Amino acid sequence: MDITKIPNFDDLPEVKDMPQGCTWGLFDKDGKKDLLGTLNLLTPDVIKSAYGEARDDRDGSDQLTRPHSWPLNAMGFPLPGRIHPTHKQMTLKEAGLSDGTGWDDEIHFNTQLSSQWDSLVHWQHQPSGLAYNGIEVTKEGLAATNTEANTTPTLDHWHAAGGLVARGVLIDFKEWAEKKARAEGKTGDDAIVHPLDGHRITAEEIEAIAKDQGVEFRFGDVLIIRTGLTEYLQAPTPEVFAKLQGRKISGMHGNLESVKWLWNKHFAAVAGDAWAFEALPPVKEDGSEASVNELFLHPWLLSMIGMSIGELWDLRALSAHCKASGRYSFLLTSAPLNIPGLVGSPPNALAIF
């Protein structure tokens, strides 16, 4: 199959007992189940084209590499079920390794508490309990001792594929929405678009922002959406804590229109600074509030389409650079941790201009 000619959503081949648009089997080769999903869209030609984004003059006048990883301990408050990271330092003598002078350290952390990639096993298609490509995920399977023996679509498989090297595109929703508010005559707090107001960012709004920023999407891009959330969570004020009680978090609208748009744009992955990339709480088709078990984009993107989701990325510096330079596309690199059966990982992502 010519990767660059993959079908649009409505033309995807039928997958038995699954909704239209499920891509299971689409990227399989030689009878072997695919484990990468839309990372397959990063062909040599797509990657070569992305290299052209790293073109700004390196005269030392500005930093042209922008990291996206929030500190592992940046979350300003504990979350049930997700431990706060612990960082233990010890001398080489204390570790019993050497009488020389030197240090080691150990880190214990949950991969979902800070900037992360969700692998394709993080959230299953709930009715079937299956992950991407119809794969059943078990603790035994995730405990494979090496990636070659790992038949689940986890992040360690990215390394054999060369990691993620792509053209990234920032959609700065917060900047755009606040500029729009000011143009409408709003001032002060009325002109602030708060990420805890629960705005559901539509595909139409993303298209409008891209046009306003002067950027066009290309095959194999990584879409990155800024709401400003991590900027509020790192040092939460009483106002932030009060808003958190409302349990409304801005993000991409979780509906089928969004899924179709994301697939038809042929993104290699999506990411953002929101908690779940998609807006929370999820909503049902009639617009009523749904439970967290009814997340919409997570099962569709991770399980049925095979598109990894990045969450809680630190995008403030990237936003400032894009605004100052007028450039919202860049060379994006990401290398997750390399351990078999990796469900989530810090992205270790860089934007290079």
d(CA 121, CA 137): 7
pLDDT at 273: 97
pLDDT at 217: 98
pLDDT at 134: 98
Vertex 169, ends 60 and 45: CA angle to 5°? 90
Model's pTM, two decimal places? Answer: 0.96
Q: pLDDT, tens digit, for every residue of 253-273? A: 999 999 999 999 999 999 999
Cα–Cα separations (whole angstroms), residue 339 to 53, 112, 143, 147: 30, 16, 10, 8
pLDDT at 80: 85
d(CA 2, CA 66): 33
pLDDT band at 301 (very low <50, low <70, confident <90, very high): very high
Residues linked to residue 191 through DSSP beta bridges, in sequence order: none
SS3 track for the chain = CCHHHCCCHHHCCCCCCCCCCCCCCCCCECCECCCCHHHHHCCHHHHHHHHCCCCCCCCCCCCCEEECCCCCCCCCCCECCECCCEEEEEECCCCCCCCCCCEEEEEECCCCCCCEEECCCCCCECCCCEEHHHECCCHHHHCCCCHHHCCCCCCCHHHHCCCEEEEEEEEEHHHHHHHHHHHCCCCHHHHCCCHHHCCEECHHHHHHHHHHHCCCCCCCCEEEEECCHHHHHCCCCHHHHHHHCCCCECEECCCHHHHHHHHHCCCCEEEECCCCCECECCECCCCCECCHHHCCHHHHHHHHHCCCEEECCCCHHHHHHHHHHCCCEEEEEECCCCCCCCCEECCCEEEEC
pLDDT band at 285 (very low <50, low <70, confident <90, very high): confident
d(CA 198, CA 2): 40
pLDDT band at 57 (very low <50, low <70, confident <90, very high): confident
pLDDT at 350: 95
pLDDT at 59: 61
Q: Look at residue 235 and tell me whether its pLDDT is greater than 90.
A: no
pLDDT at 41: 98
Q: What is the average pLDDT value for the chain, to the nearest integer?
A: 94
Residues linked to residue 107 through DSSP beta bridges, in sequence order: 87
Q: pLDDT, tens digit, for every residue of 6-28? A: 999 999 999 999 999 999 999 99
- What mean pLDDT comes out for the span 212-233? 97
Q: Look at residue 61 and tell me whether its pLDDT is greater than 60.
A: no
Query: Percent of the chain, pLDDT > 70?
Result: 98
pLDDT at 204: 98
pLDDT at 60: 55
Q: pLDDT, tens digit, for every residue of 152-197? A: 999 999 999 999 999 999 999 999 999 999 999 999 988 999 999 9
pLDDT at 79: 84
Neighbours of 142 (CB within 10 A): 16
pLDDT band at 58 (very low <50, low <70, confident <90, very high): low
d(CA 94, CA 104): 9
pLDDT band at 313 (very low <50, low <70, confident <90, very high): very high
- What mean pLDDT comes out for the span 291-317? 96
- What mean pLDDT comes out for the span 302-326? 96
pLDDT at 227: 98
Q: Look at residue 136 and tell me whether its pLDDT is greater than 60.
A: yes
* Residues recorded for the chain: 353
Q: Look at residue 236 and tell me whether its pLDDT is greater than 70.
A: yes
pLDDT band at 62 (very low <50, low <70, confident <90, very high): low
Q: Look at residue 238 and tell me whether its pLDDT is greater than 70.
A: yes
- What mean pLDDT comes out for the span 85-104? 95
